[in-house]
Chains A and B, each alone.
Chain A
Amino acid sequence: MSIYELLTQFGDKYLAALLTTWKLTAISFTLAFVIGIVITIMRISPIKPIRFVGDLYVQIFRNIPGAALLIILVYAFPYLNFVWSYYACVLIATSLLPASFCSEYLMAGMNTIGAGQIEAARSIGMTFFQTIKNVVLPQALRSSVLPMTNLLVATMLTTALASQVPLKPTDLTGIVSYINTRTVGGVTAFMISAFLYCATAVIIGQIGSLIDRKVRILR
């Protein structure tokens, strides 16, 4: 089938798939971001067991393949009486994994802050959380915009995991199998999805560098 035929026949399905991918990406990234911040604060906590748990989280979820995690969530957890919808399983997998990378980027961003600024905050009388809130996190966030942009793109690509479970409407990768089981879309069906992924990534990249230029800290 030509691109034209595919688009006329499945155009609305592609659109729905694109929206599903966007939605999964947005929710996953937001969750990953929040979890990543919490994990990072744990990793710099003055209390050792809390630091350990934070580090452990990163070591575990940075090193599990997404597909493996999804299989565990979908097939193994029901035996432990945890039964979640397919949608929830995908979201858990696509949030927990990027959260570990988010934390790594924030840690790298923190390294750009001199120890002196943290001492200055403490000498003003700020507590641990006040120092994090006023000095550490704002600077770590502002200096990690570009890595976070990459993470957002990577999160979007990770949501292709959704194609492995029956979702309605399916995502950009899932739509290809949907089409190819009904007609002979061939490689062209893939290319349309690939183009939509690419276009989204380019837009994300542009917005990312725009934000980076705005918030970059003069040193």
Chain B
Amino acid sequence: MEQSQKTFEILEEAPVIELRDVNKYFGSLHVLQDINLSVKKGEVVVIIGPSGSGKSTLCRTINRLESIDSGEIIIDGVSMPDEGKKLAEIRSQVGMVFQSFNLFAHKTILDNVTIGPIDVLHKSRKEAQAEAMELLKRVGVESQASKVPAQLSGGQQQRVAIARSLAMHPKAILFDEPTSALDPEMIGEVLNVMTELAQDGMTMVVVTHEMNFARRVASRVIFMDGGKILEEGTPDEFFAHPKTQRAKDFLESIKRHES
């Protein structure tokens, strides 16, 4: 009894995303330095830091859109290979939302959401479409289903991109500065969808400059600079009592900017 309880706890604790001693270079530039990171199921990890700190690279590395030079990336207990079918399969389990939406320009909104389930998960068109409409409703763009991406606002496109990720039933979703390319009035609608996702228990890694979102939604904040993780803690800890001078300076400069 005690034994099975213990096993259960270990399973529960197994991280969805784990990075072990990950290093990456762009030429001679050491952009990721000995990154160790573990994200548990249902956690919302927000990565912040100045531009050029490596936070976007870290996010893109998690599903191997960027190659790594050493270390290991483990998704739900399975180590990611460098290439091939197996990599594609693991990637399909990790959603990604980009700064520039990256919807397929030649496909309708509905087709953008159904293409993954149909082609990668081999679902029937009917089933995929029914689910896609549900998802589009959930992010509030179901009335746009038959349009093409260029006919939608940035905020709408980004919400479609989130629906496209959700359609794959991912174990986690990565957000790479999802609101940085949006007009101010559209940032809110995207952050609202993300907040709801977090409340529904989605495991999320979010690179963002939206400090209020980090304060309200993050279960953990990671501060990066110079390719290193300098600090890691709850939002309350981090924003109230940053430990490193670099983080203090960063938060100070943001405060000055926001006031």
Write the residues of chain A forming the contact surface with B, with a CB cutoff of 8 angstroms.
Answer: 46, 113-114, 116-117, 119-127, 130, 134-135, 138-139, 142, 217-219
Minimum CB–CB distance for A128 against chain B, Å? 9
Q: Is B98 in the interface zone, CB < 8 Å from A?
A: yes
Residue in chain B with minimal CB distance to A119: B65
Most buried by B among A46, A114, A134, A219: A134
A sample of 12 more A-B contacts (CB under 8 A), given A113-B105, A123-B63, A126-B120, is A46-B83, A114-B100, A120-B103, A120-B161, A124-B116, A125-B91, A125-B168, A127-B85, A130-B120, A134-B104, A134-B119, A142-B106
Partner of B102, one of A46, A116, A127, A130: A116
Partner of A119, one of B94, B98, B150, B168: B98
Chain B contacts for A135, CB-based, 8 A: 104
The answer for the CA separation of A117 and B91 in the assembled complex, in Å, is 15
> Which 7 pairs from chain A and chain B are nearest by CB?
A125-B92, A116-B102, A123-B96, A120-B102, A218-B150, A124-B116, A125-B120
CB atoms of B164 and A119 under 8 A apart: no
**How many contacts A-B (CB < 8 Å)?**
76
CB atoms of A119 and B102 under 8 A apart: yes
CB atoms of A117 and B65 under 8 A apart: no
The interface on chain B, measured as residues whose beta carbon lies within 8 A of the other chain's beta carbons, has a size of: 32
Minimum CB–CB distance for B143 against chain A, Å? 18
Residue in chain B with minimal CB distance to A131: B88
Residue in chain A with minimal CB distance to B64: A122
Within 8 A of A (CB), among B139-160: 148-151
Q: Is B21 in the interface zone, CB < 8 Å from A?
A: no
CB atoms of A120 and B120 under 8 A apart: no
The answer to whether residues A138 and B119 also contact, given A125-B89, A127-B85 and a CB cut-off of 8 A, is no
CB atoms of A126 and B105 under 8 A apart: no
CB atoms of B104 and A120 under 8 A apart: yes
Residue in chain B with minimal CB distance to A135: B104
The answer for the CA separation of A120 and B157 in the assembled complex, in Å, is 13
